[in-house]
Amino acid sequence: MQYGTLTSSQRAMFDTKQGSFIRKPTFVVWIEGFGDTTEYVMRIDSEIGLESLRGRGSLNIGRAILELNNHVPPCNGRENGYFYSDGISKVKKCARIKIWAGFDYLNIPIFTGVIDDVKPIGTLNTVTMNCRDYMGLFFDSIIKDELGLNNTLKSILEYLCSKVGVVANIIGTEESTTAYDELKFKGQKMMSVIEKICDSIFCVAYFDEEGILRLVEREYSNHVDWGFDDSNIVDCMLLADSEIINDVTVEYRSGFFSRCLDQASIDEYRAKTRQLGILSLSSDLTSNQIQGTIQELLDHDLEGFKFTTTNSSSVIDSVYVRMKKSDAHGYVCVKIYTNNGGVPGNLIGTSSLKAGDNLTSEFSWEVFCFDTPIRISPLTDYWCIIDTDSIVNGTVSIQISNAAINGKHAYYDLTWHIENNKYVLHIIRGSNQAYRVAEDVVRFYKRPYERVKIVAPAVPQLALTDEVKVNIKKMGLVGRYVIERRKHVLTSETYTTIDTLRKVG
């Protein structure tokens, strides 16, 4: 909940007035270049949200529409056409606007942003102002230079805010303060970059009522002591349940993927898949050998190579192998084994299957992904074994280097056999960050959430992410819900808030 700059005693009085059966709604509107314009305002309709109506991963641009009296009586010494005259708006493009609302002149902020345009309604006596919150500035702005030393997600967001003259309050977490390399955003829309940042750590960014940029985990909620019930609402509508995503593949580098799925959700709701692309951040090159042109026929069911992990390795989720087919039908996969005295030891991971029919007839890089990433140790030997046991006819070949090298190749024939001077061409990579994002998405979307819209006599102090109680018996709605969208509709006589909520418990 938010109360702007009200003192503790004013907050108590505000709550009393908000809950009163008889109350007088009030508001204040400030416009850059005009100051306090409250006396001209006839109606306010504003809305903010955690995400746009397009859904997951899409930032929301809050909006406000105001109707104002443009006809000023001569008695106050001002000319007619105060905001708009002679076909021209007197309000400059992107003038700042701030709106407070409350009761009996105890007002708290409900919207901060910029004015897009001013248009007359019918005659010149009334005008409409269309406004956006500060996210609209990011939509209009292009990054014209590289970000320099701003190489953490927190510093990037703060830098972008400074470029458009707004304020950010980004909490420093491990995810938001990790430094990354190779960030190239020049020429991209700021809003697009922020969406990519949010995707890369499964967060949402939004501007609050004060016009401050916030970044929170998508699952975050703020537990508050407030409840909607039959006595304090006007109407309640059930909305469509939230979407289901239970099988996610995250591409964190061109051609490299991390995957997470929830089998229980798949069994109940069928597979609801999504492939996501995130910033090329935080991945480890575990092992690679890319030089060599010698062909090696896979004439054993299990055949592969030993590799040593790099000093930064912690996970394997993708293995690339140079491979081709010759009329091969069936399936191929790769398996990761521990090293046991120079031969494969315990099996610790099996990739998804790749159809032999989908292999090419010329050598190309084929990627094998693991549904559950394999946890590994740095500077440690492992074996990657290619399993062609399911190939029913035809052949599969790989490319190798025949450089002088000992004990890097093995095949299985009742017992493991080691060969020298053979090293399979491969690239092995993993990303803890990509898998964490995939886990977050599946955990959040693996089941549908009930969603409702509640129309109430105004509750201006509630805020996005507030978790409230709902006990509306006439609709059978009981539980805790998080506010994901807020709408305020005001005139000098009436004040209504409309909240969209997601059930969480």
Tell me the CATH number for domain 138-217. Answer: 3.55.50.10
pLDDT of 428 over the 90 cut: yes
How many whole angstroms separate alpha carbon 3 and alpha carbon 18?
12
How many whole angstroms separate alpha carbon 152 and alpha carbon 335?
36
**Cβ distance 200 to 281 under 8 Å?**
yes
Q: How large is the C-alpha radius of gyration of the chain?
A: 30
pLDDT of 424 over the 70 cut: yes
pLDDT of 281 over the 70 cut: no
**Cβ distance 201 to 154 under 8 Å?**
no
Residue 157 is encoded by which pair of tokens? 């967001």
Which tens digit of pLDDT belongs to each residue from 227-265? 999 999 999 999 999 999 999 999 888 888 898 999 999
pLDDT of 480 over the 80 cut: yes
Predicted local distance difference test score (pLDDT) of residue 147: 76
Nearest to 481 by CA among 464, 500, 501: 501
Query: What single-letter amino acid sits at 111?
Result: F
Average pLDDT, integer, range 408-436: 93
How many whole angstroms separate alpha carbon 30 and alpha carbon 40?
11
Q: Name the region of 301 (left: φ>0; alpha: ψ -120 to 50; beta: rest).
A: alpha
Nearest to 249 by CA among 259, 239, 261, 238: 259
Helix (H) / strand (E) element for 383: namely strand 381-387
DSSP 448: P
Which tens digit of pLDDT belongs to each residue from 332-342? 999 999 999 99
How many whole angstroms separate alpha carbon 319 and alpha carbon 90?
62
Which residues, listed in sequence order, are joined to residue 496 by a DSSP beta bridge?
457, 489
**Cβ distance 338 to 346 under 8 Å?**
yes
CA 328 to chain CA centroid, Å, is 41
SS3 34: coil
Average pLDDT, integer, range 423-439: 92
SS3 487: strand
pTM: 0.85
Predicted local distance difference test score (pLDDT) of residue 73: 58
SS3 364: strand
Predicted local distance difference test score (pLDDT) of residue 181: 67
Report the mean per-residue pLDDT for the chain: 92
CATH class of 284-430: mainly beta
How many whole angstroms separate alpha carbon 101 and alpha carbon 495?
9
Predicted local distance difference test score (pLDDT) of residue 72: 66
Helix (H) / strand (E) element for 126: namely strand 123-133
Which tens digit of pLDDT belongs to each residue from 194-214? 998 888 889 999 999 999 999
Q: Quickly state the pLDDT bin for 75 (edges 50, 70, 90).
A: very low
Strands 409-413, 415-419: pairing kind: antiparallel
Helix orientation angle between 153-164 and 190-201, rounded to the nearest 10 degrees: 160
Predicted local distance difference test score (pLDDT) of residue 166: 96
Average pLDDT, integer, range 466-491: 95
**In sequence order, which residues have a C-beta less than 8 Å from that of residue 284 and are 6 or more positions away?**
310, 312, 313, 314, 315, 429, 430, 431
Helix (H) / strand (E) element for 440: namely helix 432-445
**Cβ distance 15 to 459 under 8 Å?**
no
How many whole angstroms separate alpha carbon 392 and alpha carbon 372?
27
SS3 184: coil
Farthest CA pair distance, the chain? 104
Residue with tokens 């693996």: 446
Average pLDDT, integer, range 121-150: 88
Query: What single-letter amino acid sits at 315?
Result: V
**Cβ distance 131 to 113 under 8 Å?**
yes
Q: Tell me which of 6-15, 70-79, 104-113, 352-361 is least confident.
A: 70-79
**Cβ distance 458 to 472 under 8 Å?**
no
Alpha carbon distances (Å) from 363 to 293, 326, 359: 10, 11, 9
Count other C-beta atoms under 10 Å from residue 130's C-beta: 13
CATH class of 8-133+221-242+449-503: mainly beta
pLDDT of 176 over the 80 cut: yes
**Cβ distance 467 to 450 under 8 Å?**
no
Percent of the chain with pLDDT over 90: 77
Query: What single-letter amino acid sits at 105?
Result: Y
Predicted local distance difference test score (pLDDT) of residue 74: 54
